[in-house]
């Protein structure tokens, strides 16, 4: 069973610090990296994959530096990049066969594995179609198929469910859950529900740092007493919506039920409720969300 150790990893891009002194120890299980866009998730994953070189720090796999392990490390790696690459003139089968050859899978075994992955991802009927004719969801499924091709001990998936419809998303979650035994699976996403059901451990990233780490129970416990529910009239609801971070808003007859995230009681009559992962996300990334919202408004 592999063990990945990140020892004070830092990455600078000119004047910007993308990842700041991150230390982690990953053993087998599903790890969900949550963070807003620009939090440094992708940069960190790229360093774990060996695509990017850290400015400082070291990544160790089973006690050896991944730079020294070189091919032996990549042999046990499966990676789905955020911007999934493909040759558009290749058919799905040929593309997987090409990657199988580059992943050092023997030719006979590669044929079996390619067929198995095509079935697993539901691309069997499209295996002879050129990739350029694929939809976004099909491309994502092809990406998942290529990442699983070598039965990797370390599986790194960057935004794996973007472009997938709910049915495909559930299917993907089930595939990942079934694979989680005896390997490290790192899932990076900003879609909370992707990791809520399958991750053994949640890692929250903000401005290049890990700000929270633990099981879902542990992470949600950190915002315990900071999530409130309140039934308000529409006018008050509007005012509260402007003042506090609202994780849910539901119309009930003439009133509005609000779920608010706040360090203190937002208003008289608000009741503390059990926090969920979305509340945790909102609690930590509220400022970022506001910034994004502001940018969106400006664009509009």
Q: Which of 81, 137, 163, 214 touches another protein by CB under 8 A? A: 81
**84 binds another protein per the rule CB under 8 A:** yes
150 — phi, psi (to 5°)?
-95, 20
Nearest to 83 by CA among 153, 193, 163: 163
Residue choice 52, 120, 231, 249 for contact with another protein (CB under 8 A): 52
Strand partners of residue 228: 260, 272
Tell me, residue by residue from 157 to 196, as one string, x for binding to another protein by CB under 8 A and - for no binding.
Answer: -------------------------x--------------
CB atoms within 10 A of CB 41: 26
Nearest to 81 by CA among 142, 152, 34: 142
Nearer to another protein, 98 or 197 (CB): 98
Would you count residue 101 as binding another protein (CB under 8 A)?
yes
C-beta of 147 vs 240, nearer to another protein:
147
Secondary structure (3-state) at 269: coil
Give the list of residues 6+ apart from residue 27 with CB closer than 8 angstroms, or none.
1, 3, 184
Cα separation values, 264 from 241, 245, 270, 273, Å: 15, 12, 10, 13
Single out the residue of 9, 31, 66, 103 in contact with another protein (rule: CB under 8 A).
Answer: 103
- Smallest distance from another protein to CB 90, Å: 8
Of 58 and 290, which has the nearer Cβ to another protein? Answer: 58
The residues that touch another protein, with contacts defined as CB under 8 A, are 13, 46, 49-53, 71, 74-75, 77, 79, 81, 83-89, 94, 97-99, 101-106, 146, 150-151, 182
């Amino acid at each position: 069973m592999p063990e990945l150790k990140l020892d004070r990893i830092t990455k600078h891009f000119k004047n910007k610090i993308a990842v700041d002194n991150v230390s982690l120890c990953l053993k087998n299980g599903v790890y969900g990296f949550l963070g807003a866009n620009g939090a440094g998730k992708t940069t960190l994953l790229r360093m774990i994959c060996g695509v990017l070189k850290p400015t400082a720090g070291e990544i160790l796999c089973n006690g050896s530096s991944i730079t020294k392990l070189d091919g032996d490390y990549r042999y046990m790696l499966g990676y789905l990049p955020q911007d999934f690459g493909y040759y558009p003139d290749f058919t799905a089968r040929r593309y997987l066969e090409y990657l199988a050859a580059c992943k050092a899978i023997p030719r006979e075994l590669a044929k079996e594995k390619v067929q198995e992955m095509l079935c697993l991802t539901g691309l069997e009927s499209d295996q002879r179609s050129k990739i350029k004719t694929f939809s976004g969801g099909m491309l994502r499924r092809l990406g998942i198929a290529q990442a699983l091709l070598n039965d990797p001990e370390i599986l790194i998936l960057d935004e794996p469910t973007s472009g997938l419809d709910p049915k495909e998303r559930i299917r993907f979650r089930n595939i990942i859950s079934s694979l989680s035994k005896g390997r490290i699976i790192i899932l990076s996403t900003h879609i909370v529900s992707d990791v809520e059901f399958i991750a053994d451990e949640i890692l929250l990233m903000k401005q290049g740092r890990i700000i929270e780490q633990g099981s879902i129970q542990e992470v949600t416990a950190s915002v315990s007493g900071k999530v409130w529910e309140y039934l308000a009239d529409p006018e008050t609801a509007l005012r509260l919506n402007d003042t506090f971070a609202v994780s849910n808003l539901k119309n009930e007859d003439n009133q509005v039920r609000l779920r608010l995230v706040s360090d203190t009681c937002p208003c008289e009559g608000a009741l503390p409720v059990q926090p969920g992962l979305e509340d945790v996300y909102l609690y930590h990334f509220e400022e970022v969300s506001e910034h994004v919202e502001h940018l969106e408004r400006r664009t509009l």
